[in-house]
Structure 1
Amino acid sequence: MIKRALLVAATAALLLPSIAGATALAEPALDWTPCGDLQGECTTVQVPIDWNNPDGGTTNIAIGRLPATDPQNRIGVLFVAPGGPGGSGIDSYILGANKLQDGELRKRFDIVSWDQRGVKRSNEVRCSAELLAQAPSDYPANEQEYQELLAYNAELGEDCRKNTGPVFDFVDTTSVVRDLDAIRAALGEEQLSFYGASYGTQVGQQYAELFPNRVRAMTIDSNMDHSITSGSRYIETASEDLEGSFNAFADWCERTANCSLHGQDVRAVWDDVHAKAEAGTLTDPATGTALSASSLRSELMNAMYSPEASWYPLADRLKALAEGNPAVTAQAAPAELAQNSYQAIWCDDWSWKVRDVAELQRYRDKAEKVAPHTKLSAFWSDVTSCLGWPAEVSNPQHELSINGAPTILIVKGKYDVATPAAWNLAVADQIDNSVLLNYDGIGHGQYYRSDCVSEQVDRYLLTLETPAPDTHCEAIWPTEPPPPAATATPTGPAPRPLHAL
């Protein structure tokens, strides 16, 4: 736990972000303990619950680091932001092996990540599992069902507040960014290097906005666009990239002999299975129960995150659904409380103005025009889950205003179901001092899709040398089914997709 004197000093520094050349604090004696199998170490840093009231209550943020393996040539700290929101940075980057730990980055940087406030080890948002299981449809058919959805969201939010404590109302990304700078100060670093993918890009964007002089280098990969204020535009762009990703999958399967749907009209197979799900006549062979259209679309969307791990299993799954082949899946035991970090954080960051069920239907109609096969992104619920939510939106949407930061490297894919190409291009337009690196394939988190991308990102983080503007890395397509342990497509209803890897 960080000492009170350091907390006060870090708070003062955070409240004065415009002071150039501020001297970093000497690294305190943080209470590091070994964690994981990769020679990692973990600790906590104490921060205010409400950064606008630093003398109020505090909370602990769990952090972890992998010290540089070549300390004589150490550059500094590379902060790696978790995705989600709701993903554990400690699990992903400190306890588990990750491509970012390879090669020179692990040698030259202390790799540091954290569980942001409201997530796992850092005062996780917890809610009644029974109440979570009672969620009504995200697709209200009439005004009564729409009002029932709003009432349910309000009840769930109050339950989460009761079971989580005061942190519940302060899990917005601005607070997360201020926590990040407190961690930087606690580590004694004048500047940080940063890599963030998916939701982690929003953390990076807002850090550069608040603390531009404290950034040495920043790569933001598969970008959120927090300037979108229209729910219709948000859903339409997400649906557009789901359709584009699905069409790329269908084309791949048609030209790939060992795809289990090779030789069939993949689009027709999908359309038929989806139509049955919409009619309530599709039986999931994994459970013997009806499979809804929204669950089917979530499966499809999840499979588009990582084509190399998921496209072969997706083809097998669609073939099984079309033919009614049996499968077995295990059922999880019930719990009294369950984490609900995503919804709490999301609804603290995004304000959606929806008048009634008729407006929602117009959103669906516009999405289906750009996505005639896949119809609608599963991120539809990013809008509907916040309607009626009781917490105030602490960090509403806005266009970025970044001044004084070094060149920021932006990485995007051709189609990305979790952070569509349109969002990445919008962010590039908002950051004047940025360079765009394009991956011409499908997937989410382009650093993990392409050696070409990772080599460019590594070079920039190590040397500050950016690729030429608008550089393209060619697409990589799956050629062999993954081993069973790598299969990413479930054999039962898919979990809700996250803006995470």
Structure 2
Amino acid sequence: MIASVTVLAVIVGLTAAAFGAVFVQRSTPTEPPDDNPINRDGRPLQPVPEVTPDGMTERPAEIDELGWDGQDVAWQPCEGGECAEVLAPLDWDDPAGPTAITLFMRKVPATQSPRLGTIFVNPGGPGGSGADFATGFDRTGLEQYDIVGWDPRGVGASTPVVCSDTDMEILFNQDSSPDDEAEREDLMQAEVNLGASCLENSGQLLENISTVDTVQDLDMLRSLVGDRRLNYYGASYGTEVGARYASMFPQTSGRLVLDSAVDITGEEEVAQSEGFQRALENFSQWCAEQEQCVLGGSAEEVMGVVTDLTVKLDSEPVSVGNRSLTQSAFVTAVAQMLYSDESVWSYLGQGVDDARNGDGQLMLAIADSYWNRNDDGSYGGLLKSFNAIRCLDEPDEGYAGADADAAAAAEVSPWAGRFMGPDYGCPSWPVAAIEDPGPIEAEGAEPILVVGTTGDSATPYENAVSMADQLGVGRLLTFEGNGHVAYGRNECVNTTIRDYFLDRVPEDETTCSA
């Protein structure tokens, strides 16, 4: 069983960490220390300290002469390909400012001639490592391209957001769907404390880590590798990066594939909780149709087992060594598995059955893989970067707005909306959101391929429909199936995307079936 858990953690870790439009959940209740004040009238904004995270440096004098896009890219052999570091201005509004940050890239070089250029890849998150993603990107049929992934600012081996692992642990130990005012207060305080620790350790970076900043980095990288136009594959949040690029730089937009589109309308026709609810219902129907399914003979029975167990775990967590599988950890694990499709859903059925019989090991391991939690209690960088980026991008309506959104979600999503709880991340963030950069439209850009999966949990299919329409030059590719991110899972989808990168652009909408 231990070996199975390890393999499964790798599978689902790639699903959410590499492709995640991440939601945030927590685990065993632990009272957070009251270190920082909660501001119920707005974000608890704090002075920005002068700290220097790794890779932040003084702007080199040669940039004055060469410009940012005149740097030499010194590729060196590294695991999985070739790697390089370049610099970018901390603040693109003041590119002559005194401070620079580091951006890390990994290239998997083309293996066939003639070379067609570069495809930049971004796995989403926000907070996923593009450098890691490049080594696993399916390049079948695309061997004439260099595949380049970069860690966006604030992420991985680029200048990273740094937060306290202790505060991460405390946050993930809260009840994510608080049942009373005390639990609600603890959840808010834990979010505030984590945000304060990120500001204390990351300083000015937190004011300069928006999607707009990343898009300007990407255009610089395009120029540095010598490409006239950007060719790009972005998954999940990576679709926002690609769409914003086409809006800001339509004249240098080339072939852009935006897979599992996020909402760019600002209206969010279908909330993420509805996507997870839909995916859980699809799992329940699938499970009921399997001979080996022990959760029930109908979708309603399976859903009832999952719901009843979720309720029970709130007051009766299952011990796993010196830890516990609580309601919040269980919800995280279920959602983690819903990023995937039927190929791994048997593990979800097994995990639910184990948990209801007093064994929470598998589900807690799945939750840990989502959280990027290591055995020693330390955390990877994905969820540290997540709030730093999205909360700079997004204004919020405070705790009252988060509570109202959670109540509305529970009305239409009886499991996901009810148990995922309110999102207090941005109302607790110590840095203000940037000024609205305006709507995302792509007039003047080349045709853009927008991909949506009908059973996508994290980015509901409707987002792809609206993104293709709003861009104005979108070509919609629909995958009739389950899971988050379509490329690499279906030959019809793969062929359509590869043909597009080889200048065979679909004239109309395309539909592929699982």
Give the TM bin, normalised by the shorter chain.
Answer: 0.7 to 0.9
1:58 and 2:100 correspond: yes
Q: Could you say which residue in structure 1 is the equivalent of 2:251? A: 213
Counterparts in 2 of 1:64-463, with a 5 A limit? 64-70=106-112, 72-94=113-135, 97-99=136-138, 101-102=139-140, 104-105=141-142, 107-135=143-171, 136-141=174-179, 149-150=187-188, 152-228=190-266, 237-261=271-295, 263=297, 265-278=301-314, 280-283=315-318, 286-287=320-321, 290-325=324-359, 327=361, 332-335=375-378, 340-354=384-398, 356=400, 359-376=401-418, 378=420, 383-394=423-434, 396=436, 398-463=438-503
CA distance in 2, matches of 1:189, 1:176: 18
**What is the distance in 1 between the residues matched to 2:202 and 2:85?**
19
Q: What's 2:510 paired with? A: 471
CA contact (8 A) 2:175 2:328 kept: no
Q: TM-score, normalised by structure 2?
A: 0.78
User: Match for residue 11 of structure 2?
Assistant: none
Using the TM superposition, give the Cα deviation of residue 138 of structure 1 relative to its aligned residue in structure 2, in angstroms: 4.3
- Aligned to 1:446, the other structure's residue is in SS state coil
Question: Tell me, which stretches of 5 or more residues in structure 1 are unaligned?
Answer: 14-24, 476-501
CA distance in 1, matches of 2:73, 2:64: 12
C-alpha separation in 2, matches of 1:282 and 1:334: 20
- Cα pair 2:155 2:381 within 8 Å, conserved: no
- Distance 1:384-1:423 versus aligned 2 partners, 3 A rule: farther
1:47–1:60 CA contact under 8 A, matched in 2? yes
Cα distance between partner residues in 2 of 1:186 and 1:204? 18
Preserved contact between residue 88 and residue 120 of structure 1 (Cα < 8 Å): yes
Change (3 A) 1:336 1:190: closer
Q: Which moved more, 1:159-168 or 1:115-124?
A: 159-168
Mark the CA change 1:367 to 1:33 in structure 2 (over 3 Å): closer, same or farther. same
Q: Distance in 1 between matches of 2:145 and 2:176?
A: 44
Partner residue, 1:478: none
Distance 1:442 1:287, change over 3 A: farther
SS at match of 1:133: helix
- Closer, same or farther in 2 for the Cα pair 1:337/1:204, shift >3 Å? closer
Higher mean alpha-carbon deviation, 193-202 vs 443-452, is at 443-452
Which AA in structure 1 matches 2:234? G
Letter of the 1:157 counterpart: G
CA contact (8 A) 2:258 2:449 kept: yes
Q: 2-side partners of 1:421 and 1:302: how far apart?
A: 18
| Structure 2 CA distance for partners of 1:148 and 1:8, relative to 1, 3 Å | farther
- Take 1:8 and 1:155, find their aligned partners in 2: how far apart are those partners? 43
In 1, Cα distance between equivalents of 2:288 and 2:467: 35
Counting matched residue pairs gives: 442
SS state at 1:125 partner: coil
Q: In structure 1, give the amino acid aligned to 2:272.
A: A
Distance 1:421 1:377 in 2: 22
Alpha-carbon distance in 2 for matches of 1:271, 1:258: 20
Distance 1:155 1:290 in 2: 23
Structure 1 residues 228 and 297: alpha-carbon distance in aligned structure 2, compared to 1, 3 A threshold: farther
Worse overlay, 243-252 or 347-356: 347-356
One-letter code of the match for 2:121?
A: V
Residue segments in structure 2 that go unaligned for 5+ positions in a row: 1-54, 366-373
d(CA) in 1 for partners of 2:481 and 2:509?
15
Where 1:73 maps in the other structure, the secondary structure is coil
Task: State the alpha-carbon separation in 1 of the partners of residues 438 and 187 from structure 2.
Answer: 27
What is the one-letter code of the residue matched to 1:342?
F
Distance 1:129 1:355 in 2: 24
